Amino acid sequence: MNFSEWEPLYAAILDDLGIDRGADERARDRLAALTTPFDLDRLTFEGETVVIVGGGPIETDTPIEQADRVVAAGGGIEHCQRADASIDLVVTDLDTDPETVVSLTHHGTPVAVAAHGDNVPAIERHVPAMDRDNVLATTQAKPVEHVVNAGGFTDGDRAAFIADHCGADALVFLGWVFDDSDVAPMKHRKLLWAKRLLWVLEQRRHERLSVLDGHRSAIDTDDLGDHG
């Protein structure tokens, strides 16, 4: 997804959640200053099945390592490590187990770090400790320099958009929970957007994503413009 397609969705998210675009852009610029260009050819997923592993309960016997490629989103790292599954990419905004994320970069695992207005302190603390060669800088704002925006807003849906951007043939989802009564109201609203964005990804890929089964009828598509 290029930024001209993403920008109307981003604008709707900003308006709905009261997010400051300028703060996102300042975070993006700080991340840019702390990172170097990443070779996206390392993440060529053409013709491959990619599993996107989230941090929620995994209620299936499907093994993580059955997929061709494994992308861990946020807390999904722990599931992958317990299964002794090799991680091809971590997608994170550094709010979950950042020390492990730093360590993974030094063991050769690519990490897509997301910059947004609320995580500049985490970026400044943890990104300098990473192996720069294994850091893909990402933003939800307009991309600049080597900072990439492939679409997506939360770690999970951003992971799916990155996998799509890298040519994934099929997407499988494990450890995803949208309806958690224990989350704060803002997190709940972000998860609503995660569902809506994955619905957009369905339309783009002409593929029904299993993670949305049982959720499609409740997805509000009013703000999705031409994507709806």
Q: Which two tokens stand for residue 212?
A: 């949305």
Q: Which two tokens stand for residue 150?
A: 């492939």
The predicted pLDDT at position 124 comes to 97
Q: Which two tokens stand for residue 128?
A: 């300098």
User: Quick count: other Cβ atoms within 10 Å of Cβ 218?
Assistant: 10
The predicted pLDDT at position 228 comes to 47
Going from the C-alpha of 59 to that of each of 13, 62, 168, the distances in angstroms are 30, 9, 24
List the pLDDT tens digit at each of the 228 positions of the chain. Answer: 889 999 999 999 999 999 999 999 999 999 999 999 999 999 999 999 999 999 888 877 677 878 999 999 988 999 999 989 999 999 999 999 999 999 999 999 999 999 999 999 999 999 999 999 999 999 999 999 999 999 999 999 999 999 999 999 999 999 988 877 677 888 889 999 999 999 999 999 999 999 999 888 888 776 675 554
User: What are all long-range contacts of 137-140, with beta carbons under 8 Å and residues at least 24 apart?
Assistant: 137/31, 137/32, 137/35, 137/38, 137/113, 138/112, 138/113, 138/114, 138/162, 139/24, 139/27, 139/28, 139/31, 139/114, 139/115, 140/10, 140/13, 140/24, 140/114, 140/116
Cα distance between residue 80 and residue 52, in whole Å:
10
The predicted pLDDT at position 177 comes to 85
Question: Residue 220 corresponds to which amino acid?
Answer: D
Strand partners, 53: 72, 174
Q: Identify the CA nearest to 72 among candidates 140, 156, 9.
A: 156
